[in-house]
A and B are shown apart, each in its own frame.
Chain A
Amino acid sequence: MIGVARRPVRFGVIVFPGSNCDSDCYHVAANVLGEKGEYVWHGRTDLGGLDCLILPGGFSYGDYLRTGAIARFSPVMAEVARFAGAGGLVIGICNGFQILLEAGLLPGAMLRNQSLQFRCQYTHLRVENAGTPFTRQCRPGQVLRLPIAHAEGNYTAPPQTLAELEREGRVVLRYVDEAGEPTAEANPNGSAANIAGIVNRGGNVFGLMPHPERCAEEVLGSTDGRLIFDSIVAHVR
């Protein structure tokens, strides 16, 4: 591959007031992967030329009312919906996942963690679907080690929706123990069916609570997160 001039994959990192993982995402895209990163302010309404949008973690609009509830009405979100509708790749991490739920780009909603505690820890996650643009570099059933940091990750949805997600292979990541079993103890927030990440029906919108951008380099203790970004790059190429 070396020596072949390629167009870099262009990641757009959306910045809401209160986002705080935007720099980490940009850093992985531009410095770790060597692709192109670009900050996209929440007031922007032109997303031309981008290959993948990242809705980063943080506390957009102070998490007021409900996590993600106000961010979804930012001007940029109508464009994100259009971008996703046209098949563009969108990944929402943590608060980004919450925003995608509020915006209706993914089904379901977040409740407060069952423990009522803010959980900041490493978790084990089983790749339930290695066929998505976000997991194609993973092995089916591979157990990843990724950190979480949230108070509202207790995913819930009506029973029909949960059944549909399972049936259509749209549960992408599930909290498991080290052995790969989805036990109650391995579930850090009480989410339905240990769900940690789901995709939309088109497979091009991905929401997950763990932070792959926080573990994409050796120096940070794990490189499992890089598999998610490498998958996106491989898919775009």
Chain B
Amino acid sequence: MTLPAWAASILLTIALFEAGGGRVEARRTRLHEGKAKIVWDAGDPDSYAMEYKDDATAFDGAKRGRIGGKGNCNNLISAVLFALLEREGVPTHYLGTLGDHEMRVRRLTIVPVEVVVRNVAAGSLAKRLGLAEGTPLTRPVLELYYKSDPLGDPMVNRYHVAAMGWASEAEMDRIESLALRVNGILGRALSDCGLRLIDFKLEFGRTPSGDMVLGDEISPDTCRLWDTTTSEKLDKDRFRRDLGGVEEAYQEVLRRVRAAAPKWRGEGQGAAASAAAVPAIAHVHVYVTPKRTVLDPQGVAVENALKTMGYGEVRSVRVGKFIVLELAEADLPSSGGPQAGPTAAERLRRRVDDMCRKLLSNPVIEDYRLDILPPGRAE
């Protein structure tokens, strides 16, 4: 019998708590401190605060240093890029910034598998396959690494992931499809800023309801970014390879990403810019299905009927509910805060998420997934 997702989540939460020593500072608890970030529990049941540090490490911690202003840059760059991905329909853990060095993120159980997407040969791939750095790949290459500092993040494949139970087959399908979508969205967007997306690393995690969501950060620490015209490196390779100008490179990426952000938000193409993300009447589809860990008597009955009819290939049937919601954008409660709060699309998603948890599904026995339909696809 496999451990149900919610149980794993509880266990992981406890494990993180203990690993961090459960230190309480200023009425919040340091849950986990990694090489570049600290995760804080400030008491909110749905979110954590994620602090970006100036500390820099490379080669799995063999090289250590400090990059002034890095925490600030990475926080703000990640914030802009997460918001962009959310608008494009990629679920992320990002809930908003909390000052210069921190962001509020959803609570996730992180899948211990790092996903690397490569468009151009560089770093370890160039070395391993004997390719000249800068050789374009004819199609994106996706690599998996087991997240383990003591083991030096060894490369693994989907057989390892399944055998070790790090994620299910369905979850890995979802992770891979999200990673490739992120590659497409970021590649196009960053080219607006004169940046080539050479390769990058992503991490994913499960929400309490079992949805797969993009976590971690998207910054020059986790992406290789080259200037489109000069091929100058604007990422952590400057630190790894002692190229100098490290701080300036991070600042430059932040400057370019910030300059492009209004365009990505759809501003400048009309006044109703960010409202364009949410139409006056938003259509949301909610799918509620029995958890895999509970028996679904209806599903079993339907499965047996299908087999009796000769559909012997059916392996599993789960019967759930499909709920169609229409919501008036004008009646969404506002975020309250004076400065850049969550966008209308984010507020909409959070409202419906709330409805799902409180009424539309029963978290003891059911999972849910929600789709906010893009304008024009309402029917």
The chain A residues found within 8 Å of chain B, CB to CB, are 65-66, 69-70, 73, 102, 108-109, 111-116, 154, 156-160, 190
Contacts and interface: CB of A to CB of B under 8 A. Distances in A.
Interface of B: 4, 6-7, 290, 294-298, 301, 321, 359-360, 362, 364-365
B364 A109 contact: yes
A190 B298 CA distance: 13
Given A102-B362, A156-B294, A159-B7, 9 more contacts: A65-B360, A66-B362, A70-B359, A108-B364, A111-B297, A112-B297, A114-B295, A156-B295, A158-B6
Given A111-B294, A158-B6, A116 B301 contact: yes
11 contacts: A65-B359, A65-B360, A73-B359, A111-B290, A111-B295, A114-B295, A115-B297, A116-B301, A157-B364, A190-B295, A190-B297
A73 B359 CA distance: 9
Contacts of A115: 297
Contacts of B295: 111, 114, 156, 190
A73 B321 CA distance: 20
B370 to A, nearest CB: 16
Contacts of B301: 116
Given A65-B359, A158-B7, A160-B7, A114 B297 contact: yes
3 smallest beta-carbon distances between A and B, as pairs: A109-B364, A109-B365, A112-B297
A108 B298 CA distance: 19
B319 to A, nearest CB: 10
A101 to B, nearest CB: 8
A88 to B, nearest CB: 25
Nearest to B364: A109
A190 B362 CA distance: 19
Main secondary structure of the interface of B (DSSP, over half): mixed
A189 to B, nearest CB: 10
A112 B319 CA distance: 12
Contacts of B365: 109, 111, 156
Contacts of B298: 112, 116
Contacts of B290: 111
Contacts of B297: 111-116, 154, 190
B308 to A, nearest CB: 15
B353 to A, nearest CB: 17
Contacts of A158: 4, 6-7, 364
Pick the most buried of B6, B290, B297: most chain A CB atoms within 10 A of its CB. Answer: B297
Contacts of A65: 321, 359-360
Contact of A109 (B6, B296, B321, B362): B362
A16 to B, nearest CB: 16
Contacts of B4: 158
Pick the most buried of B6, B7, B290, B362: most chain A CB atoms within 10 A of its CB. Answer: B362
Nearest to B4: A158
A223 B235 CA distance: 80
A93 B244 CA distance: 73
A158 B296 CA distance: 15
A67 to B, nearest CB: 10
A113 B294 CA distance: 13
A81 to B, nearest CB: 15
A69 B294 contact: no
B371 to A, nearest CB: 19
A69 B364 contact: no
Contacts of A114: 295, 297
A73 B360 CA distance: 12
A112 B297 CA distance: 7
A113 B297 CA distance: 7
Contacts of A70: 359
